Amino acid sequence: MLLLLADAVGLMCVIWLAFCYRFDRLFVPNFEQTLLILAGPAIAIPIFAYMGLYRSVLRYLRERAIWTMVQATTFATFAWVALVFLTHSYGAEGIPRTIAVLYWAGSIVGVVGSRFGVKWILGLAGPRTAEKIKKRVLIYGAGDAAVQLAEALKTAADRQVVAFASEDSQLHGMDIWGIRVYPGDRLEELVGRLDIEEVIIASATAGTRKRRELVARLGRHHVKIRILPPIADLAAGKYLVSYIRDIDIDDLLGRSPVPADPRLMQSTIEGRTILVTGAAGSIGSALCRTIAGANPAKLVALDINELGLYELERELRQYGGFPVVPVLGSITDTDLVRWTLATHDVQTVYHCAAYKHVSLVEQNQREGVRNNVLGTAILAAEACAGDVENFILISSDKAVRPTSVMGATKRWAELIVRYYGEKAKEAGKHRIFSCVRFGNVIGSSGSVVPLFKEQIAAGGPVTLTHDQMTRYFMSVREAAELIIQAGALSYGGDILTLDMGEPIRIRQLAEDMIMLAGLEVRSPENPDGDIEIVTIGMREGEKLSEELFYDPSGVVATRHPKILRASGHSIDAEQVPAMLSQLKAALEQGEEALLRQVLFTLLDSKGKVSPLPKVPVSATTLRRIA
């Protein structure tokens, strides 16, 4: 009502002032002119109301509203001029011709000025306090997403965008929303000169390498680095334009995330009964969540971890639409495995259950072999004997030319799955037994990332086993999606893996995580840093770098552009049972040295099965096996 009253008084004043300007004196209108002055707001206000000029909250009024105001005042002026013509008041004795032009220009200034003046006054409430609490933000990028973000943050109570930084030289020195665009190579200078507290990456061209570079450049400036999701995700409705998040180590993987193919995700899950072993583990639970979103007929979750299985079941039941069956037990229990597969008519098995901590398995070789090798043999044998159509083993890059017990057990598991796949083919059954091999999963139990986070939170030091060690990394989501898609892409007996880009140096990962925490690395060059990185030496079984394939030249692409296939190594179908007999004999004898000898001797450097060695086994053990 106040705004409406201001418009009424203001428009009458504009017409009267136009008369004063036209006649160059303090004008006193006659009766007819007075009526036409009163008609100005009487005509304009309904037009303004119809065009929404009284619906805007002035505190949040945007500059784009100026065009609406210009249109409204133009229409109101034309309507008023039409009234003047209809009343024959146009001319020297009534309304001079110039009055219409002056009224149009004056009304635009009055209407626009009044509204943005009120907005400015409202914005002045506590100006000094507001400026102090607002974070000074620099947006890296000047594309559509960056501009939308700057516009969204203009009304934010906690942030003030003070600059753009862009690699586009055509934009340098120009203003967007009144904010200057600076060259991207001046980023460090801008952070210091403009007192920047937060940098938001909103550039479509800022790939992983650029993000790593930005983190390295800004690491010593104590600024918060955050990221805006890709514009494609914004367009798909996954996020709001104003949604920004902390930049995470996932953003620095050395490659772009690999999108899943929805058709592959659905083909092996929808309407099928699925068994996931090791379901309560980090990878197994992520896999169960992904499966739950693909509409299975039934999900059977098997794990020996009671608490983890209980919590997983509670979480999965929230998805609804299909039964969730928790099975508490071990894959080494033959009766339990056989009963589970038969009772629930399992069609697809995702075998995640394994001991995978290299150092821990190295110190507990017997349990590692019993679970990872013999457990896999039991599960694969029962799946082959039953009606399981798809069997997918989750393997590791440590299975390629293994140096650790954990890696060797995973290689044995691959050979076992290959063997039972061949056996199913020989029996004329249409079964697919395949392996999925990938590197380290960020955030999984035993991953170096949670360890580094814990060490950084404790104030350091961050420990490395070797300064030059490298590893492949992928996110938990990518791992789960890769496992599911492998079932649709496999021909049986092959090994699939993700195109994981370049391996990441672990020291670089540690430095990035320290910088992401807003801290500095303490070194001889920077003795005042916050966190020190210490090299403690390699543990038994560790390698400086991992491989994804024995023979990269034999790797071919699949229907998915980022998933690769390698043929499994051919083995004598009769050799796997003999290998397992040797391993069981060594396990029964209880000597870890003998167990390790059998474990590694049967695998040559190319990953193929070597001739069976003569292993000293006691007569008592042989009688037990027989």
Mean pLDDT of 422-449: 76
At residue 409's C-alpha, the angle toward residues 404 and 410, to 5°, is 100
SS3 category, 449: helix
In a domain, 146, yes or no: yes
In a domain, 440, yes or no: yes
Question: Measured between alpha carbons, how far is 486 from 395 in angstroms, rounded to an integer?
Answer: 12
- Give the pLDDT of residue 180: 86
In a domain, 257, yes or no: no
Residues 327 and 227 placed together within one structural domain of the fold: no
How many alpha carbons fall within 13 Å on the CB side of residue 435?
30
In a domain, 253, yes or no: no
Q: Both ends of the chain: CA-CA distance in Å?
A: 98
How many alpha carbons fall within 13 Å on the CB side of residue 156?
18
Where are the strands (E) in 202-347, listed by range? 224-227, 245-246, 273-277, 298-303, 324-328
Residues 108 and 159 placed together within one structural domain of the fold: no
Q: How many percent of the chain have pLDDT more than 90?
A: 12
Q: Are strands 555-557 and 563-567 parallel, antiparallel or unpaired?
A: antiparallel
Residues 162 and 119 placed together within one structural domain of the fold: no
- In sequence order, what are the residues at sequence separation of 6 or more whose Cβ sits closer than 8 angstroms to the Cβ of residue 158? 133, 134, 135
Residues 340 and 452 placed together within one structural domain of the fold: yes
Residues 281 and 404 placed together within one structural domain of the fold: yes
Residues 134 and 118 placed together within one structural domain of the fold: no
Residue that terminates a domain, selected from 218, 247, 276: 247
- Give the pLDDT of residue 332: 92
Residues 429 and 282 placed together within one structural domain of the fold: yes
- Give the pLDDT of residue 92: 45
Contact 484, 265 (CB under 8 A): yes
Residue that terminates a domain, selected from 202, 222, 247: 247
Question: Measured between alpha carbons, how far is 439 from 396 in angstroms, rounded to an integer?
Answer: 6
pTM score > 0.75 for this model?
Answer: no
Closest listed residue to residue 612, CA positions, set 623, 600, 602: 602
Lowest mean pLDDT among 144-153, 311-320, 352-361: 144-153
Contact 159, 221 (CB under 8 A): no
Angle at which helix 208-218 crosses helix 506-516, to 10 degrees, equals: 60
Mean pLDDT of 546-551: 69
In a domain, 452, yes or no: yes
Tens digits of per-residue pLDDT, 336-386?
A: 999 999 999 999 999 999 998 888 888 899 999 999 999 999 999 999 888
Q: 574 or 568, which is more confident?
A: 574
In a domain, 252, yes or no: no
Residue 378 amino acid letter = I
Q: Which domain holds residue 582?
A: 575-625
Residues 154 and 192 placed together within one structural domain of the fold: yes
Residues 289 and 330 placed together within one structural domain of the fold: yes
Residues 193 and 268 placed together within one structural domain of the fold: no
Residues 333 and 347 placed together within one structural domain of the fold: yes
Question: Measured between alpha carbons, how far is 296 from 323 in angstroms, rounded to an integer?
Answer: 9
Question: How does residue 30 score in pLDDT terms, banded at 50, 70 and 90?
Answer: confident
Q: How many separate domains does the chain show?
A: 4
Read off the CATH number of the domain in which 181 is found: 3.40.50.720
Residues 390 and 528 placed together within one structural domain of the fold: yes
In a domain, 256, yes or no: no
Tens digits of per-residue pLDDT, 159-208?
A: 788 888 888 888 888 877 778 888 888 888 888 888 888 888 877 666 66
Max CA-CA distance within the chain? 131
